[in-house]
Amino acid sequence: MSSYIDTHAHLYLPEFDSDRDNVVEAAVNLGIGKIFLPNIDSSSIEKMNQLAERFPGICYPMMGLHPTSVKENYEEELNRVVQELKIHRYYAIGETGIDLYWDKTFFHEQGLAFTRQLDLSVEYRLPVIIHARESFHEILEILEGYRSKGLKGIFHAFTGSVEIAEKVISMGFKLGIGGIVTYKKSILPDVVRETGLENIVLETDSPYLTPVPFKGKRNESAYISYIAESLAMILNTSAEEVGRITTHNALQLFQPDNHA
Ligand SMILES: [Zn+2]
């Protein structure tokens, strides 16, 4: 059986309240050995950490402030992120970034919060999980200022062009590929053919971005296998190979067995 890592799943959200344990166990039974949990804001920390503690060696928490949660009180929220990093082991900063799709009201603050979290990524030597929605230009401009700082991480739910993909890879990032690659109008097949598996990690973004054939329903980590199958078709290889290389990439990035 193949082995995979889901590098991005919000399994602590209420969508999973009725069957959370089953969702994790179903994923493990299908070969998804590790699941990384991106934080959203102060309201999600406790449930995320509870899940990570319930499934040690399987579920790993990350710490950050999601761009759509950046509001008037973003400094207070960031202080909590800083506090958490001092008292708890987290495996990445995130998710962070800029989202100009849902709401542009706090665009300026989103940029400040993103920059602050990039600084934390440098300080703690942790990978950073970047959420870029209609904001590649703004994000790349900020990242230019970090070229010499050794940033690494994932562009989560990557949807950019081949050109943008090559740019973010040159800056030390992997592309997070999930359900979108299975959608009919996606340009991702062309992107992944150019970049190759060496620059890709798998993710679901559960409960969102559900792959075909379950599009429209709740997403869960077990569906990684559909994403891997889709990538295998596009790249003319096997799902096993997709699993092997993307798992290696994810382990190298997150170092989950390094108990520093
Ligand atoms: Zn997410």
Mean pLDDT, rounded, for 195-224: 97
Residue-level pLDDT at 102: 81
Ligand 1 centroid distance, CA of 177 (Å): 12
Ligand 1 centroid distance, CA of 110 (Å): 16
Cα distances from 12 to residues 19, 32, 66, 226, 246, in angstroms, run 11, 17, 15, 22, 24
Mean pLDDT, rounded, for 80-105: 95
Residue-level pLDDT at 252: 97
Ligand 1 centroid distance, CA of 207 (Å): 9
pTM of the model: 0.97
Ligand 1 centroid distance, CA of 64 (Å): 11
Nearest to 40 by CA among 13, 6, 72, 5: 13
Question: Residues of the chain with pLDDT > 70: what percent?
Answer: 98
What distance, in Å, lies between the first and last C-alpha atoms of the chain? 31
Residue-level pLDDT at 103: 85
Ligand 1 centroid distance, CA of 211 (Å): 15
Mean pLDDT, rounded, for 219-237: 97
Alpha carbons within 13 angstroms on the beta-carbon side of residue 22 total 5
Side chain identity, residue 176: G
pLDDT in tens, 25-77: 999 999 999 999 999 999 999 999 999 999 999 999 999 999 999 999 999 99
Ligand 1 centroid distance, CA of 145 (Å): 25
- For residue 234, give the 3-state DSSP assignment: helix
Ligand 1 centroid distance, CA of 69 (Å): 12
Ligand 1 centroid distance, CA of 209 (Å): 10
pLDDT in tens, 124-135: 999 999 999 989
Ligand 1 centroid distance, CA of 66 (Å): 8
- For residue 82, give the 3-state DSSP assignment: helix
pLDDT tier, 257 (very low <50, low <70, confident <90, very high otherwise): confident
